[in-house]
Amino acid sequence: MGFSGWRVLKEGLTGNKGWQPHWRDATPKSEYDVVIIGGGGHGLSTAYYLAKNHGITNVAVLEKGYLGGGNVGRNTTIVRANYFLPGNSEFYSHSLKLWENLEQDLNYNVMLSQRGQIMLFHSDGQRDAMARRGNAIRNQGDDAEILSVGALKRMLPYLDYEQTRFPIYGGLMQRRAGTARHDAVAWGYARGASERGVDLIQNCEVTGIDREGGRVTGVQTTRGAIRAKKVAIIVAGRSSQVAAMAGMRLPIESHVLQAFVTEGLKPVIDHVVSFGMGHFYISQSDKGGLVFGGDLDMYASYAQRGNLPIVEHVMEAGMTLMPMIGKAKLLRSWGGIMDMSPDGSPIIDKTDTEGLFLNCGWCYGGFKAVPGSGYSTAHLIATETHHAPAARYRLDRFRTGRGLMDEEGTGSQHNLH
């Protein structure tokens, strides 16, 4: 059933009686070609691209809760491709290109809004580092430009350029960056995958991964055993637990990242603004809420909630950067569980168990990666070879030291990225 303005009109005139489920709720079959553990953004997009790009449709997505209930539904919705290290650069570049065609591809309005992201800098040294980043982005073929303070004042007149602890020296802007409606991304992929024959199974928790002779053979679930030729673990936030079912110990430490939204307000912030010195970033949703976030709570956690020190720090940073938001009221705060990896970059790889694939370690980069991650993971599952844009996301890079992608330069301490 296609979605369109005409369809909305026709249904509206006939009592909205013709709408169908966006996806089928399937009951588990006894065997699949591919079982994807995890019905979040990455799992659903992987299923979608397995079906669409590789014609593999005998696929089940197993979700212990509800589809899209993990980090895809609890992030700050930012989409961008402004990484600078080889590996990340080409991956996020590819992902952004997929974003730009996603609505037409999925026939689902995920409300990608390329309103531009501006990363501010506050010293000569930061300008140099930002220039290096911007040039790397341009080398990759994506857009980036340096904005002077004068240009910033015209674009973001509400920033505090005077009474601020860290004066603004300028900004690095990516115009193609922006935001998208996070839930819709999960639902759009779910619908697309379901239409192509993928079984989406909610309330189905995986309790074991079956292996025989170094090969994966299926999974045990709360809804029975399911045989599978290939299994992919795509469960950011629970990666360590699920991987342990296959005897793996991952280079992951789980941390809580809080996010915040205010009451709805008339448009006042048109861009995504990032204030690195204050660990603060903000945009305004189409509904009018200011959506913003900051740094990790900085202790290992599986609670989808945080504590006041970071809440307050984020608000202080916001007030420092743009004191005009003072009278906006925080409506809701929540937390997501981040798979923090030792270099701040993700893992998309095979494992030592044949037929078992791993997609994890997204740190805070997960949302914007959803299309690219699914695309590349599907490629890896289908062809057993790494998809070029994600070819560096190897699990063994920490052991060998080859191809580490430490964008922050903070080293192997998981929570510092």
Amino acid letter, residue 29: K
User: Would you count residue 161 as binding other proteins (CB under 8 A)?
Assistant: no
φ/ψ (deg, to 5) at 415: -85, 0
- Which among 46-54, 137-145, 206-214, 224-232 is the span making contact with other proteins, rule CB under 8 A? 137-145
Least spacing, CB of residue 404 vs other proteins, in Å = 7
User: Would you count residue 299 as binding other proteins (CB under 8 A)?
Assistant: yes
User: Would you count residue 54 as binding other proteins (CB under 8 A)?
Assistant: no
CA dist., res. 155 & res. 151, Å (int): 6
Q: Residue 114: in which H helix or E strand, if any?
A: none
Buried-exposed string 381-390: b where 16+ CB fall within 10 A, e elsewhere: bbeeebbebb
Q: Which of residues 69-88 bind other proteins (CB under 8 A)?
A: 69, 73, 86
- For residue 16, count CB atoms less than 10 angstroms from its CB and return exposed for 0-12, middle for 13-18, buried for 19 or more: exposed
CA dist., res. 7 & res. 9, Å (int): 5
Least spacing, CB of residue 148 vs other proteins, in Å = 11
Buried-exposed string 123-142: b where 16+ CB fall within 10 A, e elsewhere: eeebbebbeebbebbeebeb
User: Would you count residue 287 as binding other proteins (CB under 8 A)?
Assistant: yes
Q: Which of residues 198-227 bind other proteins (CB under 8 A)?
A: 202
Binding mask 379-398 for other proteins (x = CB under 8 A): ------------------xx
Q: Which of residues 251-280 bind other proteins (CB under 8 A)?
A: 251-254, 262-268, 278
Kindly give the pairing relationship between strand 224-233 and strand 356-360: parallel
Q: Which of 52/90 has CB closer to other proteins?
A: 90
Give the orientation angle of helix 182-195 with respect to helix 366-383, to 10 degrees. 20
User: Would you count residue 330 as binding other proteins (CB under 8 A)?
Assistant: yes
Binding-residue total with other proteins (CB under 8 A): 143
Q: Residue 43: in which H helix or E strand, if any?
A: helix 41-54
Q: Is 373 left (phi over 0), alpha (psi -120 to 50) or beta?
A: alpha
- Which among 6-14, 42-50, 211-219, 346-354 is the span making contact with other proteins, rule CB under 8 A? 6-14
| Contact with other proteins (CB under 8 A) among 53, 217, 220, 412 | 412
Q: Which of residues 176-195 bind other proteins (CB under 8 A)?
A: 181, 183-184, 187-188
Task: Look up residue 328 and give its two tokens.
Answer: 């906006």
Least spacing, CB of residue 96 vs other proteins, in Å = 14
User: Would you count residue 151 as binding other proteins (CB under 8 A)?
Assistant: no
Q: Which of 150/399 has CB closer to other proteins?
A: 399
CA dist., res. 403 & res. 224, Å (int): 40
Whose CA is closest to 47, among 353, 387, 371, 385?
371
- Which among 51-59, 153-161, 222-230, 372-380 is the span making contact with other proteins, rule CB under 8 A? 153-161
Task: Look up residue 241 and give its two tokens.
Answer: 């637990």
User: Would you count residue 329 as binding other proteins (CB under 8 A)?
Assistant: yes
Q: Is the distance from CB of 102 to CB of 188 less than 8 angstroms? A: yes
User: Would you count residue 90 as binding other proteins (CB under 8 A)?
Assistant: yes
| Contact with other proteins (CB under 8 A) among 31, 53, 54, 103 | 103
Least spacing, CB of residue 54 vs other proteins, in Å = 25
Least spacing, CB of residue 348 vs other proteins, in Å = 17
Q: Which of 73/355 has CB closer to other proteins?
A: 73
CA dist., res. 371 & res. 189, Å (int): 9
Least spacing, CB of residue 198 vs other proteins, in Å = 15
Q: Which of 56/137 has CB closer to other proteins?
A: 137
